[in-house]
Copies of this chain bind each other. A is one copy, B any other.
C-alpha cells in the first residue's frame, strides 16, 4: 500500500502538502492540488486512517452497542442514530451484545481501546461494562435502558406510564387475572415496566422473569399456563418475548384473545399481519435514535455539561389480541 510519501514523491511536493490537499485546506496552490490529486489517483492511494487517528489522538467512529441485533426495535433506532451521525461527520460501528454481559464487556473494552469518539449503548445489565465506561473519558449516551448506576445522557421512553396504560387496558377489556412476563432484574426496562404493571393492578401480581429473548417468552408463558395461578391475560414487556409467548399459545391451541389476552411492549413490524393482530405499546424508535445521536454530538462538544435525560412517550396500539369477544363468564 502506498503511503503519503509515495504520493508526495510522485507529485514532486512534500508530504505536508499532500496532507493539506487531502484534508481540504484551501491554502494550497491550485497547480499543486491538481498534481497531488493526479498522483493519488495513479497510485490508488488511500489514507491510512489508523495512522491519522493516532496522530490526531481521536477517531470519527461511534460504537453503537445494542443488546440484540434480531430485535426489530433496533432497526429504526440505528437508522436514526446513523442519519444524525453521518451529518455530524461520524461513522458508526454496530456491536451486538446478544443480551450477553460478557460480550458487552468485550465490546466496551474494544471501543475504548480503539479510541472511539463516543459510545451509544443499550445496556444488557452488566455493571462491569457500565463502570468501565463511566471510569473512562469517552462520551456515552444510554439508550432504551438506563446504564447501571450511571449518570450519563439517557434517552428512554416513559416505561412505567406505558406499562400502566397497557395493564389498565387489559383490565378495561375485562381480563381479571393478568400476569406479567418481564426481563432480567437490573435491566431498567424490565424493572420499570414491571413496576407500571404492578402499580396498575389492584390484586396480587403474577410475575415471570426471564431474559428478553423469544425462547424466554415461550418458556415463561408455558410456566404460567401450568401454574395454579394461571392467568387469563398477559402483559409481556418486550417484543421478542411476546413472539415467544404467542408461539407457545399457538402450539397449545389456546385462543387469543378469548382464553388469553395479550399485550406486548415494543412494536413488531408484522403485528397487524398476525391473526389475531397484536396489541402493542409502540415506541418512537427512529426518534430515540436521533435524539441519542444528538445528545452524543453535544456531549462530545461539551464533555463536562450536565447529563440530560430525555423521556419520550410511548403509545398503546390496541388490536385484536386484547379485545375480549365477550365479558368474563
Question: Which residues of chain A in 69-99 are interfacial with respect to chain B, using CB atoms and an 8 Å cutoff?
Answer: 69-70, 72, 74-76, 78-79, 82, 91, 93-96, 98
Q: What is the minimal beta-carbon distance from A292 to any residue of chain B, in angstroms?
A: 16
Measured between alpha carbons, how far is A72 from B46 in the docked complex, in Å? 34
A70's nearest neighbour on chain B, judged by CB, is: B75
Q: Does A207 contact B (CB under 8 A)?
A: no
Q: What is the minimal beta-carbon distance from A240 to any residue of chain B, in angstroms?
A: 9
Contact, CB under 8 Å: A1 / B137: yes
Q: What is the minimal beta-carbon distance from A52 to any residue of chain B, in angstroms?
A: 8
Measured between alpha carbons, how far is A78 from B113 in the docked complex, in Å? 23
Between-chain CB contacts (< 8 Å), 13 pairs: A1-B137, A44-B135, A46-B109, A46-B113, A48-B54, A48-B115, A49-B115, A70-B269, A91-B107, A243-B269, A243-B270, A270-B270, A273-B274
Chain A residues at the B interface, C-beta cutoff of 8 Å: 1, 44, 46-51, 53-54, 59, 69-70, 72, 74-76, 78-79, 82, 91, 93-96, 98, 106-107, 109-110, 112-115, 135-137, 214, 243, 246-247, 250, 268-270, 272-275
Q: Given contacts A69-B94, A70-B72, A250-B273, could you give 8 more A-B pairs where the C-beta distance is less than 8 Å?
A: A44-B135, A46-B109, A46-B113, A50-B59, A51-B54, A69-B78, A94-B94, A268-B270
